Chains A and B, each alone.
Chain A
Amino acid sequence: MRLRVTFSKQGPLRYTGHLDLHKIWERAARRANLPLTYSQGFHPHPQIQLAAALPLGFSSRCELVDLKLNETLPLEGLVDRLQAAVPAGLHILHVEEIDERAPALQTQVTAAEFEILLRDEIAPQSLTLRLQTVMESESLPRERRGKPYDLRPLIEALNLIEPGPENLPRLWMRLAAREGATGRPEEVLDVLGIPLESTRVERSCLIFK
């Protein structure tokens, strides 16, 4: 059977990257005694698919993983069984069974939404103005790993939302997350002149085809 697990990733696990998260799921499955299906061949690996890589340092409340199992198990009680097996910082929100032939998770993502807490003081007018400038510009030429690209079409939405704790301002953005066209929150922040280390970024929603 193929299980789809929705989970959040917070706290110290923000500093665990995509590949290491794979390993965390493999071990969690072994602790929870879930019979993972392994690939054939000389170096068998477990059939685990994560939806979209979450950049290091970001938290999320909308991560998805598909686990392929050798057996069919009742869904009842699985949330608790998985919760008991994962490290602090992962919270299991939902488990469902999906069609084994459904397309791979990572090919189905089209966009991602982020909430960003700005921890350092910024004048509200200045912030509004900066957002406006970004959204009104026709293109935002950038370079990443030596390759030029336009950031602007990757920004689907960008605005201020209700403030966070201590009345700190919060941004919300929806960025494209298609293959070969992924918008990165840190790039948007850079355009806005906000240093990444003064923020807290959380992925709040993944949007699928």
Chain B
Amino acid sequence: MLTPTEIQDKLDRILLKVTKPGRYVGGELNITVKDWNAAQTRVALVFPDIYDIGVSNVGLKILYDLINQREDALAERAYVPWTDMEALMRSNGIPLYGLETFHPLAAFDILAFSLPYETLYTNALNTLDLAGVPLRAAERDGRHPLIIAGGHSTMNPEPMSAFIDAFVIGEGEEVIQDMINVVQRVKGQRFNGEADLQSSTFDRDVMLKELARIPGVYVPRFYNVEYLEDGSVAAVSPCEPALPKTITKRMVAKLPPPPTKFIVPNIETVHNRATVEIMRGCTRGCRFCHAGMIVRPVRERPVDEVVAAAEEAIRNTGFEELALMSLSSSDYSQIVELVTKIGEKFSDRHLNVSLPSLRIESVSIDLMELLKDRRSGGFTLAPEAATERMRRIINKFIPDEDIINTTREIYRRGWVTLKLYFMIGHPSETLDDVRAIGELCKRVLAEGRKVIGYKARLNVGVSTFVPKSQTPFQWVPCDSVEQIKAKQNLLRDILKDRNIKLTLTHAEDTFLEALLSRGDRRIAEVIYAAWQAGAKFDAWNEGYRYDLWSAACAGQGLDPEFYTHRQRRVDEVFPWDHITAAVKKSYLFEDYRQSLEGITRIDCRQHCFACGILPTFKQVRRENPGGYWKCPEVKVRGEVLAAPGD
């Protein structure tokens, strides 16, 4: 294994030959560089996309701080090199390394992958390969790092089960500590504190068994899958009775203090901003929304904590942008107070404050006005669908008139560019529903022209719905590539206007996301074959190769449409049924059934629909009463109060 000095020396000779060499040298403001030899457990946090995208990831930043605060552990970062750098690293024998001390990844005890979306899977495989670690979990032994992964896409861990030793289900703040403790206990006796590049050998099986006992940790090798003749899953069961039949996600009762010492890159990246998470979870219950289903319950940070964190973050970073992050800003209960305070603190400081996911109502415009002295940039709203029938199906009900009135008001108050986001491919969508998107956009622009004339601009982003595991739409088929293309062509025809900019996602990208989202264990071999054939950077248009994925499916004798374009049986056992976000399958099915009837559900802060969160976490709720959680209270003594039907 190369030493850090050898790696740096080799890097020195190739870096000027690649684009943006600043991606590969670390040294940023606010990083934590710890003494390698003094740390008993060394963790490399990997975001399997390029530096420019990964460096601002807030989830990994939280873990980076938590691990580095431990005296007995260190955390470093690694990203995937762009293709030019990868080629030079391979030809010069440079393994992937941690950006803090330039130790090769293979020398770490744990490689922890963030897998927020499925199109990173091949990059994760490529990372392991660049690190010189065997790709398949079964081929690794005591000499190799433990490979773990978490993030939203791991709510269906099965497609990556062949490559990851242990998955974290749910929120990582507490469970990462539990996992490090287990690794230390198992490796413990062998640690000698000396400058030993090779992580000490250990009994991998013992370690994995111990990890599998941690709540929220899923070790796929200890679970067997049986299939029915039609190819669907018959059952997933643990191979030892001591292991849980179902792995329930982890969830932190109170959001820990937000990170404020963000790493400030020395080069331009995608998001140059300090981010403060104001709220986790969402009570709206949009049926297409994966995050809305898996990140329950809603927990809000108090206004003062957010304001203090924002000030500290700007002081620590000097960033020109502050992002107040949540799934639905408008639903933060003290949003007006928060935005007023932030506006007061940061006006005249040449700071751009962003507030994502605003509801379609005039209050949102007031909020944006509090934050912006100028109307630069656009104003973004997401109606998602354009007919009221469709909005009932997806449970995001907004009357057309609200959209017209709000958008007209946005133009009237000085914004020239408006951005509207829609999705096509919702369940039971017809071409009429798609046509309605075009018509609505034209109406919005016509209203804008009445107010500010021909300078009014409209950007329309239309993505394609991909049914996700653990949501009410996990039973429905995803549109086929042909269906998507027909719908997109219709939109292109309608939205021919020089002041409308239409952005569409590639139909083939949707196909891949759909294949991986609801795949089972057999898809692992497809991912492997695709990677071997050269698939990587599937989230990038220039990277993704449809032909190669089709061939990979064929090579495994699998029909991709079985995964993408099939209506699931009502009683089907899903490949991810042994994993739960604490939202019951029966609840999801009921919600799905109601969507077919066009029945909407109101914000669950106003009425609890008994999704399953409260019974699972009733003890936690008892210990954390009050308005911090947006679920109903649970009595200290006696039965669960709130969840009707429980």
Contact = CB atoms under 8 A, between A and B. Distances in A.
Interface of A: 11-13, 15-17, 19-20, 23-24, 26-31, 36, 38, 42-44, 46, 56-57, 85-89, 196-198
A87 B25 contact: no
Given A15-B25, A28-B318, A57 B16 contact: yes
The 7 A-B pairs of least Cβ separation, nearest first, read A12-B27, A27-B318, A30-B318, A31-B318, A12-B25, A87-B29, A15-B21
A152 B266 CA distance: 35
B13 interface: yes
Contacts of B314: 30
B354 interface: no
Contacts of B318: 26-31, 85
Contacts of B349: 30
A197 B16 contact: yes
Given A12-B25, A13-B266, A15-B21, 11 more contacts: A12-B28, A16-B22, A16-B266, A17-B267, A20-B266, A27-B318, A38-B350, A42-B376, A87-B28, A88-B27, A196-B16
Chain B interface residue number, banded: 20 to 34
B315 interface: yes
Given A28-B318, A197-B14, A87 B27 contact: yes
A31 B319 CA distance: 9
A38 B374 CA distance: 15
A198 B268 CA distance: 27
A87 B266 contact: yes
B17 A197 contact: yes
B16 A13 contact: no
B13 A27 contact: no
Interface in B298-323: 314-320
A64 B13 CA distance: 28
24 contacts: A12-B25, A13-B27, A15-B22, A15-B24, A15-B266, A16-B266, A16-B267, A17-B267, A27-B318, A28-B318, A31-B315, A31-B317, A31-B318, A38-B350, A42-B376, A57-B21, A86-B29, A87-B27, A87-B264, A88-B27, A89-B27, A196-B16, A197-B14, A197-B16
Nearest to B9: A119
B26 interface: yes
B266 A56 contact: no
B398 interface: no
Given A11-B27, A12-B26, A16-B267, A27 B374 contact: no
B376 A43 contact: yes
A15 B374 CA distance: 34
B266 A12 contact: yes
Nearest to A28: B318
Contact of A15 (B15, B29, B319, B376): B15
B92 to A, nearest CB: 11
B22 A20 contact: yes
Nearest to A38: B350
A23 B316 CA distance: 15
Contacts of B320: 26-27, 30
Nearest to A23: B268
A42 B376 CA distance: 8
Nearest to B27: A12
A33 to B, nearest CB: 8
A42 to B, nearest CB: 7
A56 B16 contact: yes
Nearest to A25: B318
Q: Which of B16, B24, B319 has most chain A Cβ within 10 Å?
A: B16
Interface in B313-339: 314-320
